Amino acid sequence: DVKVTQSSRYLVKRTGEKVFLECVQDMDHENMFWYRQDPGLGLRLIYFSYDVKMKEKGDIPEGYSVSREKKERFSLILESASTNQTSMYLCASSPGTSGSSYEQYFGPGTRLTVT
Amino acid sequence: GENVEQHPSTLSVQEGDSAVIKCTYSDSASNYFPWYKQELGKGPQLIIDIRSNVGEKKDQRIAVTLNKTAKHFSLHITETQPEDSAVYFCARTGGGADGLTFGKGTHLIIQP
């Protein structure tokens, strides 16, 4: 089974803090993604990466950055956390650019509260 | 990504009845349409998907239909059971490494 793990299930941070959310996948997947999920808005893509050290902006990248130094790990960084970044953050991975590569597998999510 | 409209936002059905959730999209380059089920406290889980060269796909009690001309696709769940209660999301992508664009979700409630 594909396993995508996220470093924390719940996180509480203060406004202005730098926040790191970590995601690790164990299936040697090429692609990794970060989404945020908010009530009534569904899931929205923040950033994705199709290779080590590569990154692409999603639909809502403002206020976020990412890092992918190793294939299995994709980090989401909130440079200066704000209250409007309180949300559920979901990491996903998918195999590659051929065959069944489109299928994305999600982690359990990190619920971040910024006070 | 291009928007995906999902309806209804809440659906309540009697156990044993069928449930249908519909989604529409605008980007004609879309070629992959997955459906995810999210239970409380968990990440979304892929339950069925369809590619643009297929009109229908079934997996036991779950089926997905795709009308590329009209740009809509639907999830059908037959003989609903209590464990089908969850939030369901449709999504689309142009494929490859691109991220998914999700609908806003349907809260499916199965009444005993």
On chain B, the residues whose CB falls within 8 A of the CB of A90 are 43-44
Over residues A16-44, the mean pLDDT reads 94
pLDDT at A2: 65
Burial of B80 from C-beta contacts in 10 A (0-12 / 13-18 / 19+): buried
Return the structure tokens found at B83: 């464990």
pLDDT at A16: 97
Nearest chain B residue to A10, by CA: B41
pLDDT at B98: 73
Amino acid code (one letter) for A113: T
**B93/A101 Cβ within 8 A:** no
On chain B, the residues whose CB falls within 8 A of the CB of A42 are 6, 89, 102-105
pLDDT at B109: 98
pLDDT at A95: 85
Query: Which stretch, A11-25, A27-41, B95-109, has highest mean pLDDT?
Result: A11-25
Nearest chain A residue to B89, by CA: A42
pLDDT in tens, A67-101: 999 999 999 999 999 999 999 999 999 887 654 45
C-alpha torsion sign, points A86, B89, A93, B67:
negative
**A45/B100 Cβ within 8 A:** yes
Mean pLDDT split into 10-residue runs, chain B, 112 residues: 88 98 92 94 93 90 95 97 97 76 95 93
User: Which of B6, B87, B104, B107 to substitute to test the interface with A, most A CBs within 10 Å?
Assistant: B104
Shortest distance, CA A97 to any CA of chain B (angstroms) = 5
A53-62 long-range contacts, Cβ below 8 Å, gap at least 24?
A56/B97, A58/A33, A58/A34, A58/B1, A58/B99, A59/B1, A59/B99, A59/B101, A60/A36
Q: Is the pLDDT of residue A13 over 80?
A: yes
Amino acid code (one letter) for B102: F
